[in-house]
Structure 1
Amino acid sequence: MVYEIITYKSAEKTTNSLELIALDTSTTNGLVCVMKAAAGPIPYMSWAFDWEKLKADRVIGFTGEIIVKKPYELTVPVDIITEKPEVTHIFQEPTDTEKFQFEFSVLPILCTEIYDEMFLPSEKNDAILEVGGVKLNVNRTFLSYHSDYFSALFSSNFKEGKMDEVPIKDVSYEEIGLLFSTIYPKATFPNDKTVPKLLELADRFMMPSVIHHVEYHLLNNTKINNEKLMWMADRYGMKLLLEKMIKELDSMAKAKMLKDSPDYGELSDQAKGKILDKVMVIIDLVQRGVQQNVQQDVPRPRY
């Protein structure tokens, strides 16, 4: 799964209304939640979810749980899809309360229709991969062209090359679908949420074309901070991105921010060498600027 768990904790809310009224509205990582509650002998709560901005990223629902803290602690399961975006709960134990509080932890559910279409049997597909119990029909030549991993796997030198169904372990259907969809004819394009997983998978399965797609996104459309981009560029061999990040390292303040970041310690010696060279250039420019200012301040002799 590419997406991370979305969590939220509400503050304590108070109402004496016997009818449902909105008490809490939150937006967390694109997921909007409106909590309504009714007080009284038998309290009632509902949570309406909306993720319109996430639908473009193939999010069709969420699964997880809501933990009610007040009026008393209990767990409400969450299993919502587009057609049913609301969760409700009527408290079974009578309690005269006006205070409500909750938190939730949910995981996005992604639509796999685009992946399902890719892996259907066809005249063009001549091999089967088995991922998590699911059979994926693929084209040997196409995958071998894009990946040295699959080129070796399908060769006669490996036992998998002679198998009717080749198992691929330690990867989910959603992850392999995300990876392959980046290079298939009906391509899906990287975004900031999918970039980390795509780079990890592309590196494992030796797919340089996927890394090039990711690099293009990071060069032109990303909002990821420069320190993380520097690490990604160095770790996955994205030379153009690394050059851009070093070029944008144009002040001592930025250099210090990079040095203090947790990603700096993970950089290669080669990358650190390039950064040091750039810092020396910055220091030289600063010193020249100071010297020039001093010279301008020296009074000229009168003749």
Structure 2
Amino acid sequence: MSGEAIEYKSGTHQVNIYTTVLEISVNKWITCAWGGTMDKYAVMHFKWKFDWDKLKNQGIDKFTGHITVSNSFNTMKIDVKLTEHNLVFIAQFECHNNYNNMFAPSDQNDTILVVDGQKLHVNKTVSKLVKFDVRAYINFLPKTRLNMCFQFLSYHSEYFRALFSSKGQVNEIPIDGVFFEDFALLLSTFYPNPVFPTDKTVETLLEMASCFEVSSVINIIEYHLMNNSRISSEKMLWMADKYVMPKLLEMCIRELNTLEKAKKLKQSDEYENLSDGTKAKVLDRIMDFI
């Protein structure tokens, strides 16, 4: 049996913060139980545990090979050396988007946006709906099922609506003053298959959504910050103020319920950048518990 290849391809599984064991397989007397979870930063944490007692009894003392993990955007290869002292393998897998594939030419696209010297093939019409279940994103509220509908660029944004109207039938439209990765990140949140914000991307998304007047993206980010974020309350308050997220602003001020929290906010860098109106709301809140 020495040198004989053992191959196994698992099924496709959805990973969220509640998943544990995804699959248990037996192949050539080797049992492998593997599972994974996804954290709030869209990083998947996988674990593979092997049991090969039957083969060890036949004199096999090690296996070498690799495990390949992939999703729609990325592929990761993990080298594995299996011995009696090394039966568990752990890996992290980040869900990066391949924007070149996401915005590649297709018969559904009718416009090319040229950003930072690179081309994004998009659809400017409002005729097609993209539906998704928010549970595919949050997975943190399993009893909540919300359906949201997104239409394409000219529906989402006054900026794009005016831009496409002014350009008429021009096929290539330059977008100046932004980086390709930042602009593609903005588009990917609603077109063509929604990719949702993480704590690592919210600031860039907020800046881009504000610049290009995409209110739907700001609403999605507000939900993320209110329910799934680990960003500090001081920074969250500043973002709620700057990018006009009223529900988040109300939550941040409501949670400002001790003098210690008030002092921490006053000493933060974010406090000086708050608007006068928000500072007044903070003061009113402090007066409630003095």
TM over 0.5: yes
Residues 57 and 202 (structure 1), Cα distance of their counterparts in 2 relative to 1, 3 Å cut: farther
The residue type equivalent to 2:220 in the other structure is: H
Is 1:224 matched up with 2:231? yes
Q: Percent identity?
A: 51
Alignment-derived partner of residue 155 in structure 2: 145
The alignment partner of 2:265 has SS state of helix
- Displacement of 1:147 in angstroms is 0.8
Verify the 8 A CA contact 1:155 1:161 in the aligned structure 2: yes
Is 1:281 matched up with 2:265? no
Verify the 8 A CA contact 1:112 1:174 in the aligned structure 2: no
User: How do 1:42-61 residues align onto structure 2 when only pairs under 5 Å count?
Assistant: none
Count residues in correspondence: 183
The residue type equivalent to 2:197 in the other structure is: P
Question: Of the two structures, which has the highest relative contact order with CA contacts closer than 8 Å and spacing of 6 or more?
Answer: 1
- Displacement of 1:116 in angstroms is 2.5
Alignment-derived partner of residue 133 in structure 2: none
User: How do 1:38-187 residues align onto structure 2 when only pairs under 5 Å count?
Assistant: 111-113=96-98, 115-141=99-125, 142-156=152-166, 160-161=167-168, 163-187=170-194
Separation (CA, whole Å) in 1 of partners of 2:78 and 2:117: 29
Alignment-derived partner of residue 39 in structure 1: none
- Displacement of 1:183 in angstroms is 0.9
The residue type equivalent to 2:228 in the other structure is: N
The alignment partner of 1:278 has SS state of helix
Alignment-derived partner of residue 254 in structure 1: 261
The residue type equivalent to 2:218 in the other structure is: I
Rg larger in 1 or in 2?
1
Separation (CA, whole Å) in 2 of partners of 1:271 and 1:120: 43
The residue type equivalent to 2:119 in the other structure is: K
TM normalised by structure 2 equals: 0.57
Alignment-derived partner of residue 272 in structure 1: 279
Q: 1:233 aligns with which of 231, 240, 247?
A: 240
Q: Deviations over 1:179-209 (max 9, x none)?
A: 1111124211111101111111111111111
- Displacement of 1:154 in angstroms is 0.9
The alignment partner of 1:140 has SS state of coil
- Displacement of 1:131 in angstroms is 1.3
Separation (CA, whole Å) in 2 of partners of 1:246 and 1:112: 35
Q: Deviations over 1:39-62 (max 9, x none)?
A: xxxxxxxxxxxxx9999559xxxx
Residues 220 and 112 (structure 1), Cα distance of their counterparts in 2 relative to 1, 3 Å cut: closer
The alignment partner of 1:137 has SS state of strand
- Displacement of 1:173 in angstroms is 2.3
Structure 2 unmatched ranges of 5 or more: 1-37, 45-74, 80-93, 126-151
Residues 166 and 84 (structure 1), Cα distance of their counterparts in 2 relative to 1, 3 Å cut: farther
Alignment-derived partner of residue 35 in structure 2: none
Q: 2:211 aligns with which of 204, 226, 233?
A: 204
- Displacement of 1:164 in angstroms is 2.5
Residues 248 and 110 (structure 1), Cα distance of their counterparts in 2 relative to 1, 3 Å cut: closer
The residue type equivalent to 1:134 in the other structure is: Q
The residue type equivalent to 1:205 in the other structure is: F
